Structure 1
Amino acid sequence: MILKMIPATNLHASVICLGTAPFGSSINETESFKLLDSFVNAGGNFIDTSLNYADWACEIKGISEKTIGKWLKTRKNRGDIIVGTKGACPSTDPRYFFRLSREDILSDLEQSLRNLETDVIDLYWLHRDDPTKPVEGIIDVLDEQVRAGKIRFFACSNWTTKRIEEARLYAVNHGKHQFCASQIMWSLAEPNQAVFLSDPTIVSMDDKTRHYHEQKNLAVVPYSSQANGFFSGQYRKDELPNKPAIVENYFNDLNFDRLDRVMELSRQLDKPPSVISLAYLSSSQHGFPVFPIIGASNIKQLEESCLAGDVILDASAVRYLEM
């Protein structure tokens, strides 16, 4: 699998990042270990998790992180794996949704270190932003943790480019470390905005955001990169599947036109259509590094998605898909 350096870091990450939200819960520990082993065997080294993953589905809090921590200890491969996890996780209590105080960040970080059974986290993400909170205190506490050796690098999830730029300017002007990547919703499919983006704290790719990342060479690690399997080849415009979420989120004329072009490239390159849609994201044609997060519930799905890590689409193919 192709490796790329995340700018402003020394992290050489696989262009495909493994998402682990259900690990240890709906995907049990044994099967999670198998998926992690298969990912590494395919050349992957970049894992994405969060302190609160699967908390909604499992009585054991932090089960995704704990499962990864146990796997790392069992396999003795901590030095080979880039572990990214999220803190400052939003509260389930809407009255206290945002958790970006110094105390919140430090508490979440310490818990993640314990769960992952590690002394340092390679890439620490802030899970959500609170636009009313000044960036200065947020950057200060993260910079302190880098200097303390508990975080190697930090990044933001669901932050607007306006807020990222505010944080960048503060960091540059005060000699602080800054965000090295942004995690937002992005795939080849255009989501139906009114339905999918009803949560105002979710940030998705648009032209303005794309331009900012090009200008600053800021890496993007997109979630929902597979559009819930829309580009798997199993959906048709005139057939409504018994999957309301996919219909509500992605069934529109633009996406079906893109699906047709994905299927055509799939035939030309003799690759599964899902691989083409992922390779679109990881292409070097975007002007900034992209590391799409994949989800997989079995080995077959994982191995197919990892094929995208070796597919290189040229500029004409990318333009063709974006039409």
Structure 2
Amino acid sequence: MRKMKIDGLNPACSQIVLGSMMFSPANMKRTGDLLEAFVEAGGNTIDTAHVYNNGDSERALGLWLKERGNREDIIILDKGAHPDRNGPRVTPQDIKQDLHESLDRLQVDYIDIYMLHRDDPSVPVSVIIDALNEHKQAGLIHSLGVSNWTNERIEEANQYASENGLAGFVVNSPNLSLAKPNEPRWAGCISVDQESLNWHEKHQFPLFSWSSQAGGFFSGRFSPDKKDDPEAVRVYYSEDNWERFRRAQKLAGEKGVTAIEVALAYVLHQPFPTCAIIGPNTVEELHSSLKALDLPLTAGEVNWLDLKEESLVR
């Protein structure tokens, strides 16, 4: 499996990242089957978070790591400081609490990539960077990242880090998919726009995309007149997205693949480093997604799929 180098990490991350929202200690067979199949295919990076399944995703991953004894072979991408019903939680105290609880659940001594799950613009970046560097210097975190932050806040934080000899953010995790959301899928979430794409290209800043397959929009389960999934309708139903779907189908037919493989390959063929987080429920779905790694797309095909070109330029 193709790998992507991240500052502060060795080995490099697999370009497909296995999401863990379906993991649970109550169903370790499914958890283990997915993890084993992923590792067998060459994957080594697992995405989880303090809030996933009330901590059960982390607990299940920790049980598997302990049983396999392969901690050094796996890159853990974990996220903390998610808001609760009382509001934002991006404070040194909340970061410390979530980090230590995640380490305990995972039964590990460190997390490879630790991301802040949300931002709170009212908190100065200096406070956040100082807090994260304290944990990094203690060896609890190897690399720092953010999820659902604006590019402006990332730049501000990294400028402060650079000026003060501290570690800054080296990865960003917004939503990037061929289908463009009409509105955030969840409150406080950020999807890339053209300005953000330009920023990532300019800085060659690594991006880990969540919902990289747009909730299965390109799977064939949805159609303009089928509206039994309110979330899919709210987030992804638009004429532009249906045109993207039609183009993905057309290109898939020419290449002998599926539209969802084309959509995932789109994420992997940006002009900057990308990894795609996927959330398969079965080993069969996992293997289907992995096929996108072997699907080449030209820059012209990427632009045509995204409606930036009227005609397909090879």
User: For the Cα contact (< 8 Å) 2:261–2:288, is it kept in 1?
Assistant: yes
Question: Residue in 2 aligned with 1:316?
Answer: 300
Question: Residue in 1 aligned with 2:63?
Answer: 70
Q: Which runs of 5+ in 1 are unaligned?
A: 56-61
1:247-266 counterparts in 2 under 5 A? 247-266=233-252
Question: Residue in 2 aligned with 1:16?
Answer: 16
Distance 1:222 1:198 in 2: 15
Tell me by how many angstroms 1:322 deviates.
Answer: 1.3
Among 98, 110, 128, which residue is 2:118 paired with? 128
Is residue 37 of structure 1 aligned with residue 39 of structure 2?
A: no
User: For the Cα contact (< 8 Å) 1:217–1:288, is it kept in 2?
Assistant: yes
1:321 partner letter: L
1:300 partner letter: E
- Taking a change above 3 Å as real, the CA distance of residues 113 and 136 of structure 1, as seen in their structure-2 partners, is same
Question: Residue in 2 aligned with 1:300?
Answer: 284
Distance 1:9 1:299 in 2: 28
Distance 2:209 2:235 in 1: 17
2:18 partner letter: L
Tell me by how many angstroms 1:187 deviates.
Answer: 0.8
User: For the Cα contact (< 8 Å) 2:90–2:119, is it kept in 1?
Assistant: yes
Greater relative contact order structure (CA < 8 Å, 6+ sep): 1
Q: Kindly tell me the number of residue pairs found equivalent between the two proteins.
A: 307
Tell me by how many angstroms 1:235 deviates.
Answer: 2.9
1:294 partner letter: I
Q: Which runs of 5+ in 2 are unaligned?
A: 308-314
1:150-165 counterparts in 2 under 5 A? 150-165=140-155
Give the TM-score of the pair, scaled to structure 1. Answer: 0.91
Question: Residue in 2 aligned with 1:281?
Answer: 267
Among 63, 84, 88, which residue is 2:81 paired with? 88
User: For the Cα contact (< 8 Å) 1:266–1:276, is it kept in 2?
Assistant: yes
Deviations 1:119-176 (A, max 9, x none): 1100001111000100001101111211211111010011111111110100111111
Question: Residue in 1 aligned with 2:229?
Answer: 243
Question: Residue in 1 aligned with 2:221?
Answer: 234
Distance 1:16 1:315 in 2: 20
- Taking a change above 3 Å as real, the CA distance of residues 53 and 47 of structure 1, as seen in their structure-2 partners, is same
The 3-state SS of whatever aligns with 1:30 is helix
The 3-state SS of whatever aligns with 2:143 is strand
Give the TM-score of the pair, scaled to structure 2. Answer: 0.93
1:39-188 counterparts in 2 under 5 A? 39-55=38-54, 62-91=55-84, 93-94=85-86, 97-188=87-178
Question: Residue in 1 aligned with 2:311?
Answer: none
